[in-house]
Structure 1
């Protein structure tokens, strides 16, 4: 899947233009995106503020880190159980 040129924070900030009455086509033209992309991002943002988007991104990053740590710990536990004399 292709990585987006826009990150969530600037895009959410730019959604405000459409919410203030600017035409959707004009917002899309300004940012070089299709209307389908615009509505996908709008549905994804769900009315978040920029600060909320930052918090969400931070929480997602922390959650991914914790999941990796848990997976590593489970793998280590499995290896230790398989050692002779630790059954």
Structure 2
């Protein structure tokens, strides 16, 4: 059986739906069954998206993408920086010898 990926916006909507259903009286286990997810998934969603609104989730998602892009940029630039630092040390050493 394959796993289904839920979009963060869908997760927030399901958590709100769960809150409404729980307020009406059924047990949490019944509500989780109604949502069609496992208890572990529900708990993980609560922990990650508990008090967020849909627009906050979108912003968080955008920030994660931007963070990932910046990490890749840093990873690509780090070797270049190290090479330039080594070259600068070599040039500085040559200058001292010439003086």
TM-score grouping bracket, smaller chain normalisation: 0.7 to 0.9
Q: Using structure 1 for the length normalisation, give the TM-score.
A: 0.76
The answer to whether 1:25 aligns with 2:34 is: no
SS of the aligned residue for 2:21 comes to: coil
Say which is worse superposed, 60-69 or 14-23, in terms of deviation. 14-23
Q: What does the per-residue CA deviation read over 1:29-49, in whole Å, with 9 as the maximum and x for residues that have no partner?
A: 233211121011111113001
Shift of 1:27: 3.5
Unaligned runs of 5+ in 1: none
The answer to whether 1:77 aligns with 2:56 is: no
Q: What does the per-residue CA deviation read over 1:54-75, in whole Å, with 9 as the maximum and x for residues that have no partner?
A: 0000011101101110111111
Residue of structure 2 equivalent to 1:7: 7
The aligned length equals 84
In structure 2, distance between residues paired with 1:42 and 1:79: 46
RMSD: 2.3
Residue of structure 2 equivalent to 1:65: 69
Say which is worse superposed, 64-73 or 19-28, in terms of deviation. 19-28
Q: Using structure 2 for the length normalisation, give the TM-score.
A: 0.68
In structure 2, distance between residues paired with 1:86 and 1:49: 52
